[in-house]
Amino acid sequence: MSIQYFSPKEEIKSIIEALDQDGATIIERQVSDDLADRVKSELRDSFDRVGRYDESDFNGYRTLRVSSILAKSPSSAELVADPRVIEIADKTLLKHCEAYQIGSLTGIEILPGETDQWLHTDDSIYPIQIGGMELQISALWALDDFTKDNGATRVVLGSHRRHANQRYYETLEDFRRFNPAIDHSNIVQATMPKGSVLLYLGKTLHGGCANDSAAARMGLVNTYSLGWLRQEENQYLNVPREIAEQYPKIIQDLMGYMPHKGLGTYQKPDGRWIDYDPL
């Protein structure tokens, strides 16, 4: 199998069909090199200072990770609210919720010498699996060219349709114990040029790949989750309110500053609580 690639001008219907069929697809050069470079530049200091804080058997020991992205990179908001990606998220998630939110937003830089990350699903953080319902969709932005040698993400095409016990896996042995054998012919690398975006469903198995090159590769992964779920990354604490106030409404809403029907109300049942001072 091979992953399907699309241009930024492709009809949304075709992209959605590929996503539903394979569990993942790529839009090439969705944003400019200039935007990708700006996000890289804004995150560079944080990667250098705190990128190793989340080292583990799962995250790797040659991989840098940064969270609180919207507090560090104003330009990243253009990726989070990219109109094409938002339209795809709308069609994927709004069937099951009134509004969706940022589940997590993470910068990832895979350094030379890193080994394969074990395969996993992003929605395994939730202790439920509901047939026919996607809990989240992810957008992985290439801030560098993603190549076979520098650690382009591996994706198991069609794995979103498997019947497995969805859970968080603490170890590789734990993962193998709770998952059926994987057809390795369905594992592909999401090679793509800078500015491209890999879209994949929460149920799709994927993982970082070994970096056998001499250079690092950086990406930014944003999950969008159903609005009635708990966020994986608490945006209200990770991004200071004075920074959140500077972003446009769409970013504030995606951060979660909007109740979902009767959940999370503040002062007014339908109010956006960023607009109000504490009582």
Q: What is the domain partition of the chain in residue ranges?
A: 5-275
Residue with token string 């996503």: 19
Separation between Cα atoms, residue 255 and residue 224, nearest integer Å: 10
For 150-198, the pLDDT digits (tens) are: 999 999 999 898 755 445 455 556 666 655 566 777 899 999 999 999 9
Can you read off the two tokens belonging to residue 241?
Answer: 């309110």
Closest CA to 120 of 72, 71, 84, 171: 171
Which residue type sits at 232? E
Q: Kindly state the average pLDDT of the residues 58-76.
A: 95
State phi, psi for 90 to the nearest 5 degrees. Answer: -55, -50
CA atoms within 13 A on the CB side of 24: 31
* CATH architecture for segment(s) 5-275: Sandwich (2.60)
- In sequence order, which ranges of 170-267 are alpha helices (DSSP H)? 172-178, 235-238, 241-244, 249-255
| Contact between 188 and 22 (Cβ < 8 Å) | no
Type and span of the H or E element at 201: strand 197-201
pLDDT classification of 276: cutoffs 50, 70, 90:
low
Residue with token string 């190793």: 52
pLDDT classification of 266: cutoffs 50, 70, 90:
low
Q: Which residue has the higher pLDDT, 179 or 55?
A: 55
| Contact between 108 and 208 (Cβ < 8 Å) | yes
Q: Which residue has the higher pLDDT, 183 or 279?
A: 183
Which residue type sits at 178? F
Q: Kindly state the average pLDDT of the residues 20-45.
A: 99
Separation between Cα atoms, residue 159 and residue 175, nearest integer Å: 14
Average pLDDT, the chain: 90
Separation between Cα atoms, residue 170 and residue 220, nearest integer Å: 23
Task: Kindly report which listed range (19-28, 53-62, 168-177, 218-227) carries the lowest average pLDDT score.
Answer: 168-177
> How many beta carbons lie within 10 A of that of residue 39, not counting itself?
24
Return the pLDDT at 79: 99
